[in-house]
Amino acid sequence: MVEQQIRPWDVLDQDVLDLLYVVPREAFVPPACRALAFVDMELPLEPGDAAGERMWAPKMEARVLQELAVRKSDRVLEVGTGSGYLTALLAHRAAQVVSVECKPALAAFGRANLERHGVENVTLEIGDAARDWPGGATWDVIVLTGSVPVVPQALLARLAPGGRLFAVLGAPPIMTARLWVAADQGAVHDSPLFDTLIAPLANCERPSGFRF
């Protein structure tokens, strides 16, 4: 998987590559998909629901982790826990991860996977963080695991100085993964990373008049 999928997608950070061997991806996929854990494809997390939540392809998980450059002192907000695999990768590199999932069944699945793996620096919440997450906290890293037509200003305002936010922006058939970085003066700058296509984030903010 690493040599055939991950490296060719410009993931060259050795710490990220090493981490893929530490966190067993096959332990986070649904049992019915266990044989496909290392295949270059998204995996369904909600059996019988073709339009349901999906687990990112391995190369996507690795590339996002590399682009965010997570540090051991970072506090991370993940919007959409899913299987908990990306949560575990983030937790191995960060000081603390708060992961929010709006679907109780998926939250339970992710929680069970993380507990089995022994991840201790993760707080799991059931709720909707698609537009903001209350509490007044600022974050060094924010990850949106579903695509959005627009990134909520409320979440950008949650970035600490030097903080990074990853999101996939746009609508089918082509979307763009982008990285927002907060400057010390409060300004936030974004840059494109790569083209991709992922499912929309539930309850995400839409500009007036927006139509899929």
Q: Residue 95 maps to which CATH number? A: 3.40.50.150
Phi, psi angle pair for 175, to nearest 5°:
-125, 160
Please give the residue range of the domain that contains residue 139.
Answer: 2-196
Residue 12: per-residue pLDDT: 96
Mean pLDDT by 10 residues, the chain (212 residues): 94 97 96 94 82 90 98 98 98 98 96 95 96 91 96 95 97 94 89 96 78 53
Q: Does pTM top 0.85 for this prediction?
A: yes
Task: Flag whether 211 is in a domain.
Answer: no
Task: Flag whether 80 is in a domain.
Answer: yes
Q: What's the total number of domains in the chain?
A: 1
Residue 186: per-residue pLDDT: 76
Residue 185: per-residue pLDDT: 73
Tokens 């949560």 locate to 87
